[in-house]
Amino acid sequence: MNPLLNFFVDPAEKSIWNLTSGEDLLWMVAIMFVAVAVGLLLAITLYLAYILRKILAPESEAKTQPVDTRSTWQRWAGLHALSQEKDLMLEHAYDGIAELDNPTPPWFMGLFYSTIGFAVIYLLIFHVIGNGNTMEQEYKQEVAIAEKQREAYVKLVAGKINENTVTLLTDKKGVESGKVLFNQYCTACHGQKAEGVVGPNLTDEYWLHGGHVKDVFHTITEGIPEKGMISWKKQLNPLQIQQVSSYVLSLQGTKPAGGKEPQGEKVTPAVAATPKVAMQ
C-alpha cells in the first residue's frame, strides 16, 4: 500500500514508515526532493521577478524612488513615520480614500515562516520517523510510572502490616476500599450484605474463629481449609486484608434481611468508632 495512504488509514501506529524498507525510504527521499525543489523554484521565481522589474522599470521611476532612511529596528518592526505616508500611497484610491503600501512587518512574516518550518520538523520527527513521543504516548508513560510508584508504596506500607501490627481502620477511604474488595471476593460465600450463604453471618456478634481485627486478619490471611475458607494471602496484600477486615467489622449490628443463624461464640469487639458503610 502507498505509505501516503497509510498515513490516513492507520494513525495509531507510532510511525508509518519503515526506513529499513527500500520502498519507504524511496518515498521519503522523493517527498523531501519535491519539497526542496518547490522551495527552490519559488525562490528563483521571486528573484527573477525582482530582476525583471528592475530591468523593465522606467528610469524616471527609479529616480523617484524614495530613500529609506529608517533604522534597522524600524524596518524589522515595519514602522513608518507619518511624514513618509505620501511615499507609501498607491496610485489608486476608492471614494477619495488612499491606500498605503504597508506590507506585513518582517518580524511577523519571520514568525509565520518559522511556524511552517517547525510544523515540517514536527511532522518528520513525530509522524514520519517516529522518534518523538506524542501527547498520548507521554500520558501512557506517565501513567505507567505512576502505577509503579503506587505499587512500590503499597508494598512498602503493606510490608509493615501483619497479625501483630494490624489495626482497625476507621477512616472512610480505608473502609470503602475494604467494601470494594469484599464485594469482589467474598460475596459468593458470605452474601452481598455479609448475611451469610455458605459461610457464616458476619454481621452478628457470634464468631467461629475470633471477632477482633487480629482474629479476622488471621482468618482471611491463612484461611480455614477444612471448612472451605481459602487463604487469601496470595491474592491480597496485607494492606488489602486489613481493609477487608475493617469493613467486615464495620458491619456489626447491621442485621441484614435473611441473615444466617448465629454460629460460634459471642464476641464484643471494640468497633464503636468504626464508620458504618452504606449497604447496597
Q: Is residue 167 part of a domain?
A: no
Digit-coded pLDDT (tens) for 239-267 = 899 999 999 999 988 889 988 898 888 88
Query: What CATH number is given to the structural domain containing 199?
Result: 1.10.760.10
Q: Is residue 251 part of a domain?
A: yes
Q: Which domain holds residue 244?
A: 172-266
Q: Is residue 245 part of a domain?
A: yes
Other CB atoms closer than 10 Å to residue 80's CB: what's the count?
A: 17
User: 19 in helix, strand or coil?
Assistant: coil
Q: Is residue 232 part of a domain?
A: yes
The answer to whether residue 119 scores a pLDDT higher than 60 is yes
Per the structure, the count of domains in the chain is 1
Reference 24, options 40, 39, 5; nearest CA is: 5
User: 253 in helix, strand or coil?
Assistant: coil
**Gap between the Cα atoms of 122 and 94, Å rounded:** 45
Q: Is residue 257 part of a domain?
A: yes
Mean pLDDT, residues 172-196: 92
Q: Is residue 203 part of a domain?
A: yes
Q: Is residue 56 part of a domain?
A: no
Q: Tell me which range, 17-31, 34-48, 74-88, is most confidently predicted by mean pLDDT.
A: 34-48
Scan for cell 522523493, then name that residue: 30
Q: Is residue 247 part of a domain?
A: yes
